[in-house]
Amino acid sequence: MVRGRISGLSVRDVRFPTSLGGHGSDAMHTDPDYSAAYVVLETDAGDGLKGYGITFTLGKGTEVVVCAVNALAHHVLHKDLKDIVGDFRAFYRQLTSDGQLRWIGPEKGVVHLATAAVLNAVWDLWAKQEGKPLWKLLVDMKYCRKVKLVKKKEKSKCWCRATPPTPRRAPGSATQTTR
């Protein structure tokens, strides 16, 4: 069961000098330094668990993503983790709909990358508090819950009443397909 309020959010700029040896380069990216904005979330739950999230960049833009994560921190700090995971979609929308940051790309660009790092940390913390690896948290989750995590509210009501896709045989085939 998820518990605690988010009491700490830190972010680091982690870089690997891959450009020195030309590692990871291609026709478009001739000097990439593989990098990541590395987010750590902590709660006041007293269990010592932390959530870790990263978002990948190619170097110099990482400091911009770190600044964006810090700009989003007020949407995360002091929030109850149970409320966040209870309406994950609303939390996502809150992060990407900040009126001061929307103009620099809520659906792409720096805000999108910063949001990804924060959400990855939330997923990690949620799974740890449930005592499961993230893949197991998702596998054990009911279909309706998964849909509500990603679909808009008005559509999720309709989808949750529907049954999950059922396997069926493709015409003239011995294998099953999912519809």
| Contact (Cβ atoms closer than 8 angstroms) between residue 123 and residue 53 | yes
pLDDT 10s per residue in the chain (179 long)?
A: 899 999 999 999 999 888 888 888 877 888 888 899 999 999 999 999 999 999 998 888 899 999 999 999 999 999 999 999 999 999 999 999 888 888 887 677 899 999 999 999 999 999 999 999 999 999 999 888 888 777 665 554 545 555 556 666 666 666 655 55
Does residue 22 come out as left (phi exceeding 0), alpha (psi in the -120 to 50 range) or beta? left
Distant-in-sequence, close-in-space partners of 176: CB < 8 Å, separation ≥ 6: 167, 168, 169, 170
